[in-house]
Each structure stands twice: as C-alpha cells, then as structure tokens.
C-alpha cells in the first residue's frame, strides 16, 4: 500500500529536532517504521533493509558530532521508529550498525557484534520470594486470590539481557539526543492505557501537553527503552524504568500491545515519506496447504492475531486516505468557487490541526498474499535456515512493493533533487 497519507496524535509534542537532524529547506525527512513479531519480524525487517540498500538508500546514523549521512541528492533515511522487534532493528541502525552486522549477529555472531540469540533474549526471571508473597497478599486483600494465582509468576523471562546487549555491544551512546538521526521507540505503559514514545523530544516540556493516550519522554536510556519495547506479555515480565527526577518506577511492555506500527510517530516528527515494514498479514487460502481449521489450535490463534493486528493497520490507512480525500476536496472546492488561495490554505491548516492530519507518502511493506510459507515460520527459532527464509521473505516483499510503488520513489527523488540543487 502506498500513496499520500496523514494522521497523527493531538498530544504529540512540537518537534524540536534533535541536534544534527535534518532541518527545513534541506533533504526530505524519510522515516523507517518497523513493527513487532519476535525474531520472525526481526529477520523480515533485515530483508527489507537489504532491499533498501539495493535501491540506493543510505541510513543516517552514528553520533551527531560525527554523523554518517548520504551526499546531497541521494536517498537517505534519517528518522527511525520501532516497537517490539522493530525497536531492536531501528536502534541498531540509528546507532551506526550495518545491515550485514545485524544479519551476522542473529545468525551466529562475529568479532564485531556478539551473537544475538537465546542467551540474550531468554533470561529467566530470578526467583523473588518476597515479591511473590507480596503479590499473593495483595490479591488476598482485594479478595481476588484464586488457585491458579499460586503458580502465577508474572512472566517467565526478563528483557534485562536485551538491555545489557544493546548497552554493551550495539549502541555508541545511550542518549537519544546524541544520535545524528532521530530515533523513537514505542512501548506501552502497564498501569494505564497510555502509549509512551521514548526519543529526543519530551511532551512534558510543553505547557498543558499532557495526553492520557500518548506521551513522549526523552530522559530514558536507549537500551532501557528497547528492553521495555520488546517485553512481550505474558512470556516476558514488564520492564521497570525509574523516573530520573522522582525515582518512581514505571512498568512497560511491548509497544505493539497499544498500537501497531506507530506510523503516527513518524508523521508527528515531520516525516514527508514513510517506509513501514510489518509482518502482520493473515494467511490466505492456498490449495496445497488447505484450511487452517485442520491444523490445530495454535495455528488458529496465530491467524486470529494476524487478522486483529492487520485490521488495525488497515483502519489506520483508511483514515489517512479519507483525510487526504477531504483535503483534496477542500482545495478543489476553493478553486472552483474562486476562494482566495490564502483563505483556502488557512482553512486547510485549521482542518489539519482539528483532524490531527499530517500528510506523508507511505510505502507499506508486508508479506505477500501468496507467501503462505512465511506465515508458518516460527517466531522464536534462531536456527540459520529459518532466519534466512524470513530474511528472504522480507526481501521478496520489499521488491514486490517497490515495483508497485514507483510514484513513491519518483516523488522522493524529486524532493531529494531539490535539496541537491
């Protein structure tokens, strides 16, 4: 899916661009948005990145005082948004890691980057009798203690290993503001319905900017933000992050719980072009495979999950399409009835603010309908053959989407050429 699109969040902060990030009148702001889906999604995103490199994209990365950027006129991705597995991908790329290094790390590790495998991801939760008894006491006090709560440990694993891995081996800095590119990591706050976006801007710095739906924080280390974003419930325990000013601990888990893909974050940050990568695509009937009804409960649960998530993405795109049509209708109506261009522009701006509409052209990469084999790949399998097949699926999906998205690349190249001139 590609074309002009918009949308956003009313509570998003004014975008105070991070030092070193592109400004007005320079190169177009191009965002990479990567969604979740465990290791399967991680590998799929690598295939998409491989395709982007083949098409001449360069990734703005590194530190703001020593940035790695594309020459004028070249295709450059300079803004990154990720949740769950996608947070691992975009944080590593924004930090300066090559696609090859990420592929090698997940396939076995090298001298440059250690293995990103079971020992990093699957760190057992340390037994804590005091916390366990306290949890039972709280339930008893609330009169909500049931027999199954006696074996409820609140999560078998912790993402502390992910935090340590990124802090020690992946990131050149642990501060969002030190990066040359803008990086945003989405997580979900456990004790409310609020989505939290960690990055270089802070909505609390804006007077009256509190939003109970979405908040932006800039005072959290990148490695902790990534650990919070990948804590998939109920397998992983929520990840606790202490507020630097008050010391109070807030718990977070997977950013995909609250909202899929988080494309609105890229638009809130001023992206003119968005490349979104997502694995969520339901199985479509294939004669050789047959009906999923014959393949058992776990397969049906996975299909239901794909359907639910894909529907949320489709609804977002539909809303963006309607907003685009409304803006086009407004301009057409104003032109036909002789309204002053300045008046039309002012009305358009007011309607954009009312609808939280932030236009951006979007290239949406998702598994192809006919690629049923990818649907059945395991989400947590670290063997090389599975990883390679998922990478190939991402590459196939990107190539097919790129072939259909010629207008996206045409407009991007025109915008890049204006920057060069």
pLDDT tens track for 177-206: 999 999 999 999 998 878 899 999 987 655
- Which of 32-36, 220-224, 350-354 is least confident? 350-354
At residue 8, the pLDDT reads: 45
pLDDT confidence bin for 16, thresholds 50/70/90? very low
Q: What percent of the chain has pLDDT above 90?
A: 47
Among 351, 345, 320, residue whose Cα is nearest residue 331? 345
Position 62 pLDDT exceeds 80: yes
Tokens representing 316 are: 């977002």
At residue 23, the pLDDT reads: 46
Exposed (0-12), middle (13-18) or buried (19+): which is 130, by Cβ within 10 Å? Answer: exposed
Cβ distance 110 to 97 under 8 Å?
no
Q: What percent of the chain has pLDDT above 70?
A: 85
pLDDT digits (tens, 9 = 90+) for 106-164: 998 777 889 998 889 888 776 556 665 666 677 666 667 666 555 555 567 889 999 99
At residue 318, the pLDDT reads: 86
Mean of the pLDDT values across residues 41-68?
Answer: 96
202-208: Cβ within 8 A, 24+ apart: 202/13, 203/11, 203/12, 203/13, 205/13, 206/13, 206/14
Distances (CA, A) of 8 to 13, 138, 392: 11, 39, 32
At residue 18, the pLDDT reads: 40
CA quadruple 113, 116, 119, 125: dihedral, nearest 10: 110
Position 416 pLDDT exceeds 70: yes
Task: Say which residue the tokens 């010391």 belong to.
Answer: 247
- Which of 89-93, 210-214, 260-264 is least confident? 210-214
Among 222, 313, 256, residue whose Cα is nearest residue 86? 256
Task: Say which residue the tokens 């005082």 belong to.
Answer: 65
pLDDT confidence bin for 245, thresholds 50/70/90? confident
**Bridge partners, residue 273, by sequence:** 30, 361
pLDDT digits (tens, 9 = 90+) for 300-344: 988 998 898 888 888 888 888 888 888 889 888 888 888 888 888
Position 89 pLDDT exceeds 60: yes
For residues 6 and 15, give the distance between their C-alpha atoms in angstroms, rounded to a whole number: 16
Higher pLDDT, 30 or 130: 30
pTM of the model: 0.87
Give the chain's mean pLDDT. 85
At residue 17, the pLDDT reads: 43
Element counts in the chain: helices (H) and strands (E): 13, 16
For residues 15 and 271, give the distance between their C-alpha atoms in angstroms, rounded to a whole number: 11
- Which of 80-94, 127-141, 168-182, 281-295 is least confident? 127-141
Higher pLDDT, 369 or 81: 81
At residue 6, the pLDDT reads: 42
pLDDT confidence bin for 168, thresholds 50/70/90? very high
At residue 146, the pLDDT reads: 65
For residues 30 and 397, give the distance between their C-alpha atoms in angstroms, rounded to a whole number: 20
């Amino acid at each position: 899916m590609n074309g002009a699109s918009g949308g956003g969040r009313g509570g998003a902060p004014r975008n105070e661009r991070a030092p070193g990030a592109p400004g007005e009148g320079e190169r177009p702001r191009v965002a990479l948005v990567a969604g979740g889906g465990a290791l399967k999604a991680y590998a799929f995103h690598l295939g998409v990145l491989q395709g982007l490199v083949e098409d001449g994209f360069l990734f703005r990365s590194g530190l703001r005082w020593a940035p790695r950027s594309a020459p004028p006129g070249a295709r450059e991705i300079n803004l990154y948004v990720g949740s769950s597995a996608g947070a691992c991908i975009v944080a590593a790329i924004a930090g300066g890691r090559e696609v090859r290094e990420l592929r090698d790390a997940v396939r076995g590790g090298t001298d440059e980057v250690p293995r990103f495998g079971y020992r990093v991801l699957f760190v057992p939760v340390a037994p804590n009798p005091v916390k366990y008894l306290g949890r039972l006491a709280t339930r008893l006090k609330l009169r909500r203690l049931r027999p199954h709560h006696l074996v409820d440990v609140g999560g078998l694993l912790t993402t502390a290993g992910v935090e340590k891995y990124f802090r020690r081996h992946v990131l050149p800095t642990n501060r969002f503001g030190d990066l040359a590119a803008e990086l945003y990591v989405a997580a979900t706050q456990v004790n409310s319905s609020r989505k939290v976006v960690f990055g270089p801007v802070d909505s609390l710095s804006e007077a009256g900017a509190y939003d109970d739906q979405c908040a932006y924080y800039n005072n959290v280390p990148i490695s902790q933000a990534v650990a919070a974003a990948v804590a998939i419930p109920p397998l992983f325990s929520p990840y606790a992050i202490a507020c630097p000013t008050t010391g109070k601990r807030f718990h977070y888990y997977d950013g995909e719980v609250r909202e899929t893909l988080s494309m609105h974050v890229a638009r809130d940050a001023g992206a003119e072009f968005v490349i979104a990568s997502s694995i969520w695509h339901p199985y479509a009937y294939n004669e050789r495979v047959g009906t999923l009804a014959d393949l058992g409960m776990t397969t049906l649960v996975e299909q239901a999950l794909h359907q639910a998530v894909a529907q949320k993405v489709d609804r977002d795109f539909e809303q963006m399409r309607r907003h685009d049509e409304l803006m086009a209708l407004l301009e057409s109506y104003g032109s036909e009835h002789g309204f002053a261009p300045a008046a039309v522009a002012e009305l358009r701006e007011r309607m954009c603010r009312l609808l939280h509409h932030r236009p951006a052209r979007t290239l949406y990469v998702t598994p192809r309908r006919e690629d049923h084999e990818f649907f059945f790949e395991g989400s947590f399998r670290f063997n090389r053959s599975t990883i390679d097949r998922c990478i190939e699926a991402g590459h196939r999906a990107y190539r097919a989407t790129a072939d259909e998205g010629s207008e996206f690349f045409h407009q991007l190249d025109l915008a890049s050429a204006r920057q060069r001139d």
